[in-house]
Structure 1
Amino acid sequence: MKPRIAIDMDDVLADTVGKFIDIYRRDFDTTVLPTFFRENSFHEILEKDVYQRLADSVHQPGFFTDIAVMEGAQEVTRALSEKYDLYVTSAAMEFRNSLSEKYDWLDEHFPHIHWKNRVFCGDKSIIRADVMIDDMPYNLVSFQGKGLLFDAPHNRDNTLFERVNSWEQVGRILL
């Protein structure tokens, strides 16, 4: 039996921050540089009402359908699948539309991860694996295995977990 890796979707496999940047630039300010939001968390720099309108966009049908794939994620997960059993673990229950959209997105971009290895849940504390890669520290707190915190603007202050900045770095650690 191969060791298991639980991999989050949003801001780990899928560039969800990039999707929010695109929406912000389309709806609020076309002149802001995308790098500005890569270096700062949305909730810290936007006015409360603008942040709320942006955050509410996840409830719109189609939000999860065209999110870009994180650089290197496809190649590294293919390589990891030779050595590990991979499970995509997404807290997809929070956003009703995300279930089918995320399923279809995985079919399109990660066909090498079988549909049986997709866990859409609300609370990741139920996940049992040897390694979990996630951008949300609270998902790693109750995790029993090795937690890798995938770098994102919203977790930059967290120092409790080993941080990974790219899929290339994930590959160096786990392959």
Structure 2
Amino acid sequence: MTLFVDMDEVLADTYGAHLELYKEKYGVELNLADCHGKEAWESVPKEHREQVMGHAWQVGFFRNLKLIEGSQEVMAELNKKHEVYIASAAMQFPNSLKEKSDWLDEFFPFIPWQQRILCGHKFVLKGDILIDDRSYNLESFDGRSILFTSPHNVNTNGFERANSWNEIADKLL
């Protein structure tokens, strides 16, 4: 099977990075439960939203992301069993292309550059399975779509869902 796996909020914890940077700047720790159903920038006071939206434009933002728990181990096993590609929308933010590639080199060296698709829109992907946190990417995919749970999508329905990498392993290994 050909399997496409998104990066942000599936392998890399971008949401958590937004909350950490917000805490560093304003000294306020946001309760993750209060963020459910919202983008990180929607979870802060209106006067701080533009600053939070700007995080992804900062040098180092994508390079310094933490791993989503269990992603390395399960991806290594999936890569042995399936044709696995990382498919990440990396063209929107100028620094993200190199930073995402460097991050993958560090944390997923078993996924070589030939198995990385750093793109714009994902509707061009043709394969068997797409794991993504964004429903708009899954809507246009012709194969099996798995929505990976992130705070912003907890209220999204209509897709097969995985809440963790253990659930991905149960479904695909």
Q: TM-score, normalised by structure 2?
A: 0.94
Amino acid at match of 1:96: P
- 5+ residue gaps, structure 1, are none
Partner of 1:127: 125
Q: 1:75 aligns with which of 73, 76, 89?
A: 73
> Residue 11 of structure 1 aligns to a residue in which SS?
coil
Aligned counterparts, 1:1-175, within 5 A: 3-30=1-28, 32-36=29-33, 39=36, 41=38, 42-175=40-173
> How many angstroms does 1:46 deviate by?
1.8
> How many angstroms does 1:29 deviate by?
2.6
- 5+ residue gaps, structure 2, are none
> How many angstroms does 1:71 deviate by?
0.3
Q: Deviations over 1:3-61 (max 9, x none)?
A: 1110000000001111111101101134x255346645234432233122111111011
Question: Quick check: 1:6–1:129 contact (8 Å CA) kept in 2?
Answer: yes
Give the % identical residues: 41
> Residue 127 of structure 1 aligns to a residue in which SS?
coil
Provide the rounded CA distance (Å) in 1 between the counterparts of 2:31 and 2:73: 25
Q: Across the two proteins, how many residue pairs are aligned to each other?
A: 172
Higher mean displacement: 37-46 or 48-57? 37-46
Question: Quick check: 2:35–2:152 contact (8 Å CA) kept in 1?
Answer: no
Q: Which runs of 4+ in 1 moved over 3 A?
A: 33-40
| RMSD of aligned alpha carbons | 1.4
Provide the rounded CA distance (Å) in 2 between the counterparts of 1:54 and 1:60: 11
Amino acid at match of 1:128: K
Provide the rounded CA distance (Å) in 2 between the counterparts of 1:18 and 1:147: 24
Q: TM-score, normalised by structure 1?
A: 0.93
